[in-house]
Amino acid sequence: MNANPNNSVCILGHNITYSRSPLIHNHWIAEYGVDSKYGICDLPAEKLSDFLSTIRNGKSAGCNVTTPYKETVIEHLDVVDDVASAIGSVNTIYRRDGLLRGTSTDGAGYIGHLEAMHPGWQLKGSKVLILGAGGAARSIAAALVQRGCSAIYIANRTLEKARDIAGLHPNTIIPVAWDDLQSTTGAVDLLVNTTSLGMVGRQPLLCPLETTRSDCIVSDIVYAPLETELLARARGLGRPVLDGLGMLLHQAVPGFQLWFGIQPAVTQELRTLVEQDLLSHG
């Protein structure tokens, strides 16, 4: 099948040859018989405006956005939804009614993976500890607030960044000093690492898991390696875990639906495909 060039999509960023998004979306494009293709748009900042004009003009169905443009693309968009506005970050762009629109699917992707792997687990009323205060932490915290979590603790080495996220919903989000982790881990139902610590080539994440409750879910949004040292330690302590690859897969679902009107399924076949690629290429 020859793809329709006006229905093409891509991941927009710079120095992003590592991206697995083409693997995920092209799998769905083939599975659902969509007349499209998904590529990598690695562009310098000065070409952003011209590229986004091609989506507004109907020459592309849209794009995902990754580093370093998740914030800077906002000024080029006509409409940014409430989720993306609150966190100041966009990872999905699409066209609707002639307007260029942006949203963020990271938070929804995290929760989608959590609910798929731990069905029946109650977010409403739960207490969560998020490690890190970057864009992913903002997205996940905002999504958890929407789902009714009673307390969301944000721990970061720079406390001011944690306080900034707390401003999203000060009645629920609580900044925590990194040195106070040990006293916080025992009080939560879910622990989420959003830092790059533990990623391939980075320092390990040192977190006092021994003080977590036996039923506390320990999760990591890092997906290279597939099982981080944090998750391996949690398994060793008998804690339920949640890896980062599932979030990557689930956050891709809303974009595909916005572009093509099809809600794709995150299947074991797709997960195995991406796992094999990660194991082959790192």
**Which residues are identified as catalytic?**
70
Distance CA(170)–CA(282), nearest Å, equals: 39
Pairing of strands 99-103, 92-96: antiparallel
Pairing of strands 79-80, 173-177: unpaired
Distance CA(71)–CA(141), nearest Å, equals: 17
Distance CA(127)–CA(171), nearest Å, equals: 13
Q: CA torsion sign, 252 to 244 to 132 to 241?
A: positive
SS3 of 255, please?
A: helix
Start-to-end Cα distance in the chain: 31
Of 75, 77, 102, whose CA–CA distance to 90 is shortest?
102
Amino acid at 216: C
**Range list of H helices, 74-224:** 82-87, 106-117, 135-146, 159-166, 181-185
> Cα 66 vs. chain centroid, distance in angstroms?
10
Cβ atoms of residues 155 and 177 within 8 Å: yes
Q: Which residues pair with 177 in a beta bridge?
A: 156
Of 44, 49, 98, 109, whose CA–CA distance to 74 is shortest?
49
